[in-house]
Amino acid sequence: MRLLALLICGSLATAQTLNITAPKTQLKRGEVVTLTYSLVGTANVAAVQFTELPNSRFSLANRVLAAPVSTTLGKALHCENNSCVVVGLNRNVIPNGNVLTVDLLVLPNAEFGQGVMQLQSVLAAAPDGTAAALTAGPPVTFTILGAPEDLNQDGKIDLIDVQISVDQGLGRAPCGSADLDKSGQCDIRDIQLLVAAAVAQ
């Protein structure tokens, strides 16, 4: 009977996860979306450490603790590059729910297609400093929308985009978004691809 009770209690004790959620996952270049990091499950977590896995399509900014965590619980958020800790000079346990928000910016020159945002190296401490069970939740996959020929991302392919392509092709501006054939160079082939796309509209 005791063994059965231990097995039941053990199965009810689930590891806590640090999850990322986003209000939407289809984004355009230059768009900002606020991510929410939240604790899910039951555990005795007083402090958290994590690293945001870098992605070349995104930039992260404005990390802010949720109000109950910072005010009621007296925790503070400290970040260096993409590594962060949530800790306070106390033994208060962080409850399940929202821990912090982060603004994710899709970079103006982000490649179209899918980009993943995820956490790694997730650690947690109990109030007495011992290890607390905590794992990273699933990654969030974003889709960066837009036609690659719409170089200024104004929703249309026109003479302005052709001029940007010509400028990059002639070296007046650094080669970047106008490299439509992904050859590593901006040249007449890219310009003609853009002209063809503009005419086809």
- pTM for the model: 0.71
Domains of the chain: 14-145 (2.60.40.680), 159-200 (no CATH)
Position 11 scores a pLDDT of 38
C-beta separation of 99 from 65 below 8 A: yes
Highest averaged pLDDT of the listed ranges 11-15, 35-39, 146-150, 155-159: 35-39
Q: Give the range among 82-96, 102-116, 125-139 with minimum mean pLDDT.
A: 102-116
Minimal CA–CA distance to 166: which of 157, 154, 175? 175
CA distances from 48 to 39, 69, 88, 95 (A): 10, 12, 10, 12
Q: What percent of the chain has a predicted confidence (pLDDT) above 70?
A: 92
Which tens digits make up the pLDDT trace of 124-181? 999 999 999 999 999 999 988 888 898 987 778 999 999 999 999 999 999 999 999 9
